[in-house]
Amino acid sequence: MDLFSNIEEEINELKEKINKANIDYYINDNPTLSDAEYDALMEELKHLEEDYPNLKTPDSPTQRVGAPIQSDFGKITHIVPCLSLGNIFSKEEFLNFNETCKKTLALDKEPEYCCELKFDGLAISVTYENGIMTKAATRGDGYTGEDITLNAKTIHSIPLKLNTDTPPKIIEIRGEIILTHKEFKRINDQIDAENEKIAKENEVREKEGKKLRAYKNLFSNCRNAAAGSVRQLDPSVTASRNLLMFCYGLGGMEGVSFETHSESLLKMKEWGFNLNPNYKVCSSVDEVCDYIDYIGTIKNTLEYDCDGLVIKINNLRMQEEMGYVARSPKYATAYKFPGLQVKTKLKDIFVQVGRTGAITPVADLEPVNINGALISRATLHNLSEIRRKDIKIGDMVYVQRAGEVIPEVVSVVKEERDGTEKEFNMPTVCPVCGAPVITTDTVYRCSDKENCPAQIKHSIVHFVSKGAMNIDGVGPQIIDLFLDNNLIKKVSDLYKLKEEDIISIYYTDLEKYKKSSQYKKEGFKAVSNIINSIESSKDTTLGRFIYSLGIRHVGEKTGQVLADVYGSVEALKNTTEEDLAKIPDVGEIMAKSIYNWFQNEDNLNLLDELLNCGIKLKTEEKNTKAEFLGKTVVFTGKLNLMTRSEAEALVRNLGGKASSSVSKSTFLVVAGENAGSKLDKAREFGVNIMTEEEFMELVNK
């Protein structure tokens, strides 16, 4: 054996010792080396890698810290989307969720559930290829996230190499980056100390007439601190924050499979990840409810923030059968604990006008801090809710952040009333445009859709949003600027904007800006970016375009369904209300709304204007087959030739309908590996059954 081989062997041995020490310390909470011993091993490894740089590998412990400062974060597309969960807030809602699962899976008893803590941190996805960490990304929009690979490498609870001799070829590990309460306090104390030094320095600067240094902002809560730490452009700052990651799931994978979610959790722990001990597999709804109560009693004693429980069907085959709705899995839900309630004064009630003209009452509060967020406004939902809770202007009220996000008024402190409180009534005219207010059930609505500035603004904000036309850089403030200066009056006007129009209003003092160093460096780059973003949005999909129109009740998923069914705006425009109502996931109310939208002359004029601006709609070219036209196909079990979503898209392309449930009218059930209750139901109803291979033969005939 030559010297080079000996050095490589020595380096590998050092890496193994250090990686084991990391697992013992950060994962098992059982340190086996003293700090001095650990530091000595690291120093030895660093010196060897400096002397033999060709032996330095991406999985080396020395690669955790010291990477170069980044200029920006790139983007990474997840192999499997990182979807968010729907929320429930009571045990009654969980029981309803359980009944839906039983019905969809055709079970006569409850499925087995796996319950885990819902951490209040930042979701990330880490990809490993042949056991080596290759990239890490934030959740982002669920499909594409920010590339935080260099920063993730500094977090010791994220292994650079999986602790196994037989790693899967590819695997995405999903987890939550969190900060402990102790570390949160340490970081803010450090910022306080730095601000004290800045204050003393500024005293001197002020006397000398020099520009004062800016103070650093304290973090408001652990979640913001964790998210901010992960997004540092300098990875060494991230490394100094002592972040933790708890693993909770898998994304895309190749070369490994599991039967249950709990089995995958244990395997991730075996690979070297930090598995939170507070998880439980429950065989009944009673066990789940008991565990909800248990976590509710201990959550405030934990050293990190926990705002609920994630409840998942444990069996992975059943998860696949349950499928997804919009951007959320149907097999899992998040049980959110009641938020912290704080008392404050309701100074006034004002109303807001939304995109569809709906007028919503909002509470104007004495500012109050709830879990690190300063709250001065809260939703009151509608007049019926105000009357039910007997809320009056001037009341002392309890406020909480519903689901730890949206502030709401929970109740009134009636014993503190002094007689000066006033009853609130909804306006009879729109507070923005003065048009008469119309009422339907509990909804108050402005009657002038075409001319109400509030509705116009919100319709444009909706049009440019990510799920719609995705015009990056054109947010509410820019839209306000355009509207206030009469550059636009409707969404189609966005495509008529020119750089010179925006420059004249974007830079309030144009002559002063032209003399600035920023102008010499960037010119009118900000305006050019807006124009380019608007121009690039012209190439979009039919589904996004339909959603962008703001048709009442039509969300992103329905926009895509309508695109799949009709294939063009013209076909959708000429359909009937009856045909729309027959489409799965549409129904009578939505069908009426869609049909009426296309009967409105102003809407049709707007549609023509948009299409004449050069918008090009990409649609999936239909390849219909007579055997599938209008017929329903159900897939069950594990497919090998394609994913479930690809199979369902293929059916729609053939002119058929893809469904998640079997009925007597189902045309065909395609059974993959480990097909379950849907296959039994198909046999019971006498529905035609095929293997995946037979289905593809039929398709390719």
Which amino acid belongs to residue 500? Answer: E
Show the tokens assigned to 399. Answer: 């406020």
- Per-residue exposure over 97-132, b if at least 16 CB sit within 10 Å of its own CB, e if not: bbeebeebbeeeebbbbbbbbbbbbbbbbbbbeebe
What sign does the CA torsion over 389, 395, 401, 407 have?
positive
Please answer whether residues 548 and 613 qualify as being in contact, where contact means their C-beta atoms are separated by less than 8 angstroms. no
- State the catalytic residues: 118
Q: 21 CB contacts (<8 Å, ≥6 apart)?
A: 31, 32, 33, 38, 41
Distances (CA, A) of 410 to 89, 351, 362, 631, 683: 14, 18, 13, 48, 51
**Can you tell me whether residue 3 is helix, strand or coil?**
helix
Distances (CA, A) of 578 to 557, 593, 599: 20, 12, 14
Residue 170 burial (CB < 10 Å; 0-12/13-18/19+)? middle
DSSP label of 143: S
CA 643, distance to chain mean position in Å, is 22
DSSP label of 23: I
Q: Give CA–CA dist 612/544, Å, rounded.
A: 17
Distant-in-sequence contacts of 691-700, Cβ < 8 A, 24+ apart? 692/639, 692/640, 692/641, 693/641, 695/668, 695/670, 696/641, 698/627, 699/625, 699/650, 699/654
- Degrees to nearest 5, angle at CA 132 with 128 and 164: 95
DSSP label of 419: S
Show the tokens assigned to 359. Answer: 């007028």
Q: Give CA–CA dist 276/296, Å, rounded.
A: 16
Residue 638 burial (CB < 10 Å; 0-12/13-18/19+)? middle
Please answer whether residues 563 and 542 qualify as being in contact, where contact means their C-beta atoms are separated by less than 8 angstroms. yes
Q: What are phi and psi of 534, to 5 degrees?
A: -65, -45
Q: Give CA–CA dist 244/240, Å, rounded.
A: 12
Show the tokens assigned to 37. Answer: 């011993």
> Which three-class secondary structure string do you get for 508-554?
CCHHHHHCCHHHHHHCCHHHHHHHHHHHHCCEEEHHHHHHHCCCCCC
> Can you spell out the DSSP letters for 455-520?
HHHHHHHHHHSTTTT--TT--HHHHHHHHHTTS-SSGGGGGG--HHHHHHHHSTTHHHHHTSHHHH
The total of other beta-carbon atoms located within 10 Å of residue 239's CB is: 20
